[in-house]
Structure 1
Amino acid sequence: MRLRTRTVAAFASLTLVTGCTATAAEPGSAVTTSPPEGLGRITELASGLDMPWGLAFLPDGSALVSGRASGLIHRVPAEGGTPALVGEVPGVARSAEGGLLGLATSPRFADDRTVYAYVSSSPTNRVVALRLAEDLASLRQDRIVLDGIGTANRHHGGRLRFGPDGNLWIATGDAFDPPVAPRRDNLNGKVLRIKPDGSIPEDNPFDTPVYSYGHRNVQGLTVGPDGTMYAAELGLNDWDEVNVIRVGEDYGWPAAEGPDGEGGTRPVFWLPPAEASPSGIAYAEGALWMAGLRGQRLWRLPVVGGERTGEPVAYLTERYGRLRTVEVAPDGALWVTTSNTDQATLGGTPSREGDDRILRIELVPTPS
């Protein structure tokens, strides 16, 4: 994986959203928007990444990024710059959508030096605990935390997130087998919740890792400041979803999609796949920020306490191509990864010089 630091090239009239443009900038400076509400300066921290998927911050402000196909983890400095190879995760099996996927840093990292990874493997997918060296220059697999997640060529899910309760939340896909999603005795098509040691929290609804079910392919998980858990889910033909995850609830797949169909809890937001196909989401400044793959845009979805408070707004439409991951950095800015190099596995080719890249996006507080 190659990375290099440079700032976003400036264009005098680059449209971000309707009616909002970027101002011209001197070479080597970051683009300052004029600005669309909630969006500020954009800086390209790194480029030349090979299929980046998961991203997790360490206490020093640097971030680990996973290479989906390579199984490698690199560390990117907080200010951007040359990455450092940390190590390779064993047992990664690459497929059309599989490989080394989500990452999550232990809330007790200063004590346990542990980062969790979602591994698409064979014969099943798994979540593993990785132990980082004191100098952050190497890693080893410490243990398998959860095994037995069904695998396939696509629909792996793969996002990891620690909740405020200290438990690890895991997003899975239906492994291209829709009938498993409503089955509570199966780990696919679910949002799972386990303790960091892999045991089952006492208040899980079914005495298993399953927390919610009836999902198609969840690739985004984030938690709001009040502890509300949100999930971004790829739909089939009509609707992608953002759901508020509540204990023991059925979210309807395959009998329901978006607001349509029978049974299941309905999403708080739904968008057509051509405009979304979501992966990562993060919560900041009173809204969810959601990466769009096919939609090639960054969505702002206003929501507080699980209730939507406004209409979706799109930024950066087709400016950087497919967007995969969104995380909130310790300084409050968003880090966003693109996802164009993985088109080779889907029959296409990268469309932009320098792909793939990590962007740092400053947020402008929304007026109350």
Structure 2
Amino acid sequence: MDRRRYLATLGVAAVAGCAGESEDGEPTTTPQSTSGDPTAEVLATDLEIPWGAAYRDGTLYLTERPGRIVRVAVGTVEPVVESVAGVRHAGEGGLLGLAFHPTDPVAYTYQTYEADDGLANRLVRHDLTDDWAPESLLTGIPGAHIHDGGRVFAHDNSLFVTAGDASVADQAQDRDVLAGSVLRVTFDGDPHPDNPFDSPVFSYGHRNPQGLAVRDGDLYSTEHGPQVADEINVLKPGRNYGWPEARGPSSNARFTDPVTSYSPTIAPASATVYDGPIEAWQGDFFFGTLKAEHIHRVTFGDGPDGPTVAAEERLFDGEFGRIRTVFTGPDGHLHAVTSNRDGRGSPVDADDRLIRFTP
């Protein structure tokens, strides 16, 4: 479909949110904004459910869930791959995460596809010297219309991949199933040699993790809970994070507790650590929320047993609707893409949008 695409530069005043309500009407409890008045600048409009975001040579690339890969260039949004072969856009699945190899002309995507026994997910490598030619590296990750995970993150000479429980909660406690887990593989798709279980599984007991970011050398994730207990976790190899037996903190020593959790749920859909020009945000943890429709900022402190939450803030509360992926650009500025055309939002004519936040 030939859809209108253009770039716009719009001065949008920041709305620093205070305590409000989630989609189900339950009160939320995060404090009022304290970070001043950053400005939101809409860089691109009319995107189609953007999901993955990654930079190569200073240029931003986005995946769109129905199967398109685009490049955001000066003055335009250019299709790179009009339709990635074999992608099955069903429910929450489709063309999801995106990452680039740190040195080689290679990209990686996470895709939902139609396997012999139904929906599944896979990690695919693309050769950038051959028109993004695909090669499946890891297939058969359980898939469903919901809880497909989807994030791909390059870190420490590895690829980390988030896999949801594919709507079968008990799979998250089965280390022999690549569901309800965070996976770690080599750039060739093999289980990383330092993994704890001689498989791609790095950690397990996850419901639907969608955000990955590194802070002070530790790998953090954000995860969707059911009606309660969205989580921020620090991921360690071999740890069991409890789902479905534990929701949020637990007294069971088998399970690793989250750094914090959110009830009722706000649907955290990404993660990044800020290192840009806004001094008050330095080192803080950001994620987009789908259900609560804001950007969430967390300031961590150091506790006796690890990081603790020192302060939290809702930014641009309700201003742009559902926020999927937040990330930082080469200039250090915070960016976000909306997800209002995913069937659960209330899109405006400009949706979906790419937004940059500046002082």
TM normalised by structure 2 equals 0.86
Shift of 1:239: 1.3
Distance 2:89 2:157 in 1: 30
- Unaligned stretches of 5+ in structure 2? 20-32, 275-281
Quick one: which amino acid aligns to residue 6 of structure 1?
A: A
Distance 2:12 2:328 in 1: 24
Distance 1:10 1:246, change over 3 A: closer
Shift of 1:3: 3.0
* Aligned position for 2:315: 315
* Aligned position for 2:341: 341
Distance 2:220 2:186 in 1: 19
* Aligned position for 1:107: 102
Among all aligned residue pairs of Structure 1 and Structure 2, give the percentage whose two residues are the same amino acid. 37
1:166 aligns with 2:157: yes
Distance 2:202 2:298 in 1: 24
* Aligned position for 1:84: 78
Distance 1:131 1:2, change over 3 A: farther
Shift of 1:7: 2.6
Distance 1:216 1:184 in 2: 14
Cα deviation per residue 1:310-345 (whole Å; 9 max; x = unaligned)?
A: 1221101100000000111111011200000012xx
Distance 1:280 1:298 in 2: 10
Distance 1:195 1:2 in 2: 38
Within the candidate set 128, 140, 155, 2:133 is matched to 140
SS of aligned partner of 1:279: coil
- Unaligned stretches of 5+ in structure 1? 20-34
Within the candidate set 56, 69, 76, 1:73 is matched to 69
Shift of 1:202: 1.8
Distance 2:72 2:348 in 1: 21
> Does the CA contact (< 8 Å) of 2:9 and 2:42 recur in 1?
yes
* Aligned position for 1:181: 172
Distance 1:53 1:351 in 2: 16
Q: How does 1:1-368 map to 2 (within 5 A)?
A: 2-10=4-12, 15-18=15-18, 36-37=34-35, 40-59=38-57, 61-69=58-66, 71-77=67-73, 81-87=75-81, 88-108=83-103, 112-123=104-115, 124-133=120-129, 138-141=131-134, 143-163=135-155, 165-224=156-215, 226-260=216-250, 262=252, 263-274=254-265, 276-284=266-274, 285-303=282-300, 307-343=307-343, 346=344, 350-362=346-358
Distance 1:245 1:261 in 2: 19
CA-based RMSD: 2.0
The higher relative CO (CA closer than 8 Å, separation ≥ 6) is in 2
TM normalised by structure 1 equals 0.84
Distance 1:290 1:184 in 2: 28
* Aligned position for 1:27: none
SS of aligned partner of 1:312: strand
> Does the CA contact (< 8 Å) of 2:162 and 2:183 recur in 1?
yes
SS of aligned partner of 1:180: helix
Quick one: which amino acid aligns to residue 35 of structure 2?
A: E
Distance 1:74 1:50 in 2: 10
Distance 1:216 1:114, change over 3 A: same
Distance 1:36 1:354 in 2: 29
Distance 1:241 1:160, change over 3 A: same
Quick one: which amino acid aligns to residue 47 of structure 1?
A: T
> Which deviates more from structure 2 when the two are superposed, residues 288-297 or residues 124-133?
124-133
> Does the CA contact (< 8 Å) of 2:97 and 2:152 recur in 1?
yes
Shift of 1:73: 0.2
Shift of 1:147: 1.0
Cα deviation per residue 1:275-332 (whole Å; 9 max; x = unaligned)?
A: x201111011221101000010000111367512512211011000000001111110
